[in-house]
Structure 1
Amino acid sequence: MTRNEFDLIRDYFARQPVKRRDVALGIGDDCALVEVPEGCQLVVTTDTLVEGTHFLPTASASDVAHKALASNLSDLAAMGAMPAWCSLALTLPEPDDAWVAGFCQGFAALAEHFQVQLIGGDTTRGPKSITITLHGHVPKGQALTRAGAKPGDWIFVTGTLGESQAGLDYILGKTVVDKARATTLINRHYRAQPRVTAGQALRGIASAAIDISDGLHADLTHILTASGVGAKVDVAQLPLSEALLADQASDEQAQKLALTSGEEYELCFTVPELHRGTLDTALKHSGVSVQCIGQITGNHRLELVADNQPLDWVLSGWAHFKEPHRDGS
């Protein structure tokens, strides 16, 4: 018997561990019905992952699902929002029960962790791709945005940076590292942990925020453009893991990777001096480290410094599988 989209929906997507009370009508009708909490604003984001561009055909379905949902969760984290509901558009060359089963396993694990309910979507035939629209909510007037950074604000990032690109380089056969480090780096590329709790804790403290999906250098520039300011970043303060440092030829190479590695799904945010003292307390229960890497200026450009001396590094941006990859310069 030929499998169709209704079989996939019934057998896999209609069964899920998360059943939210604010979902009045979920999968199975033309639209879903949800209830937004009183006094909150709806937050919506959409991301698409395409095979060959955002993930390789050899990637496990579970890893692909995690990455697809994590990229959306990271967007909500950057806004300080609470994730709640999502829809999924899945395009496959043909029905593939084994792949869909693995996809649902990876998707359900991350969705359950953040209490996200799948409320609808679509399945269709074509080149393999995944589009997720994630909805959440944030108290009215409290959403974090890219605009709002002021001269004198301090620049922070969560976690460590650079491992996602290092993991991708290993996957593509560009580098050879020992097995233990390779596993760590690959997991950072495919299974990054979105900083949802940290984002919510930053409401009322951060003046601007963004998630690091295109690389710190590019994403911090988005904040500077939206806020009409500049920044000075000390590359010696960039948070680098032991796994990354062990994999790179020099500290400078690791620092450049930290500035350009995309799909990290860490947060970059700015904090006024007035709130700097409350940052550690606010993030105490988020389970994530933070590092101050520089300060916002009024000169409308991003300056990189080391030992307070300017650097003239030329950095290329994040590249997916089909795009030209940077040479590390």
Structure 2
Amino acid sequence: FYNIYKNNLLLKTIQDNLNICEYLDECIIYGDAYSYFVETVYNAGSTYSVTNASLPHNQYLLNNEIGSGGGKIANIFAGLSLRENTLAAPYVFSISVLSNDNYSFFEKNLTVYNQINISSSPSCSAFPADMKLVFKIPVTNQQLVFRKNLNPGYTINNRNNLLIAKWDEKRDWIKLSAISRLEKKSDNFSFLLLETSVNSLGTFGIVYNADDDYCKQVQVKNRMFAPFAGFPGLAAASITFPNPKKESVQIVIYNISGSRILQKKFDFGLMAYSWDGKIANDEIAAPGLYIVNIIIDGKEKEAYKTYIYLMK
């Protein structure tokens, strides 16, 4: 059998399929380097391989083409999953690691960790279906580890105060509702997974939120938006809302006369919705006031309601 050692500590013993075997070490922290060697154990003794040292895990850019069959793009920080038939044609998705330089102009002491950017070619301001975004935070000895040499002191007990946030190009972060769960990898290493669903791409990160009631409310950024203006920061209204059970969501938008102009259904547990003003045939709706109904699990009587204003 084989013993695999990591930094001189036993990592894994492999006893099956010894002729053809491989082992993927997922218990790594961004920016760290590790050393590995293999001990081959026989009845009469054992031999050791040379020690192999990894480079620091600094994967800054990753590209992947995803088509109508669905797929995923992921790096060491986060991953985006698209279901089948989300896309009508292939898109090239890119995920890149940023240097945490996007600071909120409105919340001076807000720190956003593990910032990434997800984009597509061709670009798209809002996709027709929801996409699952999951951040992975390493947990060692109950401590959350964001990056090498970056330790804000959070533990697994703070898991319910961590949210995913999205940069809105107006020097502010939109906090998104998120569901957390723990994925154990070994006795002293786990991943805290933060999951949300979105229908638009951009820059995302992880933020600590002390307000326990924040994710129990509907939040609107760019309540007044202007798709015609040509400014990315004003091109769409962004709405976040609670959906802790990841139930199906219907977005129904009415004009001031009460006529329904748009209805979308999402089955992936949507928690954030961006509307760029487009209705049927990619036409832009007329300027004016619109009422947005957010129906979760088909419960129309319990629908969340908010309003937005489309400007010229």
Give the TM-score taking structure 1 as reference length. 0.28
Larger radius of gyration: 2
Higher strand share: 2
Bigger fraction of residues in helix: 1
Structure with the greater relative contact order (CA < 8 A, sep ≥ 6): 1 or 2? 1
